Amino acid sequence: MRKPLIAGNWKMNGSRSDNKALLAGIKAGIAKAKVAEVAVCAPYIYIPQVAEQLAGTPIAWGGQNLSTEAKGAFTGEISAAMLLDFKCKYVIVGHSERRTLYGEDDALVAKKFAVAEQAGLIPILCIGETLEEREKGITEQVVARQIKAAIDEVGIATLGKGVIAYEPVWAIGTGKTASPQQAQDVHAFIRGQLAAHDKAVAEKVRIQYGGSMNAGNAKELLAMQDIDGGLIGGASLKAEDFLAICTAAG
């Protein structure tokens, strides 16, 4: 039985005062609800604030990216050890915004996965096709290539220690969600790709859905057999909406 993981991806949003209110709201709501595993991935600079406010709660936290390097002359970068220094449990790797806006390719993303896992973080590996790729009918080819790059780098056993987030790029921040069946089909395909290497890992690994998941559509999506939680952007910035999603997964 896979325990769903609902992770908020704040992206480049927030301020000290907004975060304070948001975290207080989430904390208060979580205490009342019996919910899935929950995490928030904050901008680097706010991770100490998140760590302080969430310490002692069941809510975990994480980063949105990391460097492949351990330390040294890499201006503007943040290492796995630094994230661990602030007790991050998770780190997102290969989010589509990093892939498309910052030129991260499959090989770099796979390396980030490896570095994060080796250091003791749980990487959340984002994969997914663009609208053009879906319209061309190559969704499965694209996600298979993205998964293979990670397996080639770290092996199936290590991949199984992370989380996979299937995020169709056309659904991210657009308000256009994949239908539960569309998402389920790709999730089942991804699990099949993993099963070809190791059935036990495929059964165990959590595959989150991401892309305009919100309080209104979460329940239907999360009810699908191979959807094990969500990676939530916009709806993670309002405590009420985020909590509704967490509760829907509980």
Q: For residue 234, state whether it binds ligand PGA (rule: CB under 6 A).
A: yes
Q: For residue 127, state whether it binds ligand PGA (rule: CB under 6 A).
A: no
Radius of gyration of the chain from Cα atoms?
17
Q: For residue 211, state whether it binds ligand PGA (rule: CB under 6 A).
A: yes
Q: For residue 241, state whether it binds ligand PGA (rule: CB under 6 A).
A: no
Read out DSSP for 124-177?
EEEE---HHHHHTT-HHHHHHHHHHHHHHHH-HHHHTTSEEEE--GGGTTTS-P
Measured from the CB atom, is 156 or 162 closer to ligand PGA?
Answer: 162
Of the candidate spans 17-25, 26-34, 76-84, 233-241, the one that interacts with ligand PGA by CB under 6 A turns out to be: 233-241
Residue with tokens 């397996």: 151
Reference 236, options 22, 24, 16, 15; nearest CA is 22
Q: For residue 213, state whether it binds ligand PGA (rule: CB under 6 A).
A: yes
- Please state, in angstroms and rounded to a whole number, the distance separating the CA atoms of residues 66 and 167: 19
- Please state, in angstroms and rounded to a whole number, the distance separating the CA atoms of residues 177 and 92: 20
Tell me which of 4, 63, 123, 233 binds ligand PGA, using CB under 6 A: 233
Please report, as a single letter, which amino acid is at residue 244: A
Of the candidate spans 30-38, 106-114, 182-190, 228-236, the one that interacts with ligand PGA by CB under 6 A turns out to be: 228-236
Please report, as a single letter, which amino acid is at residue 152: D
Q: For residue 172, state whether it binds ligand PGA (rule: CB under 6 A).
A: yes
Q: For residue 210, state whether it binds ligand PGA (rule: CB under 6 A).
A: yes
Residues with active-site annotation: 95, 167
* Closest approach of ligand PGA to the CB of residue 211, in Å: 5
Q: For residue 216, state whether it binds ligand PGA (rule: CB under 6 A).
A: no
Measured from the CB atom, is 201 or 243 closer to ligand PGA?
Answer: 243
Evaluate whether 166 touches 146 at the Cβ level (below 8 Å).
no
What residues line the site for ligand PGA (CB under 6 A)?
Answer: 9, 167, 172-173, 210-213, 231-235
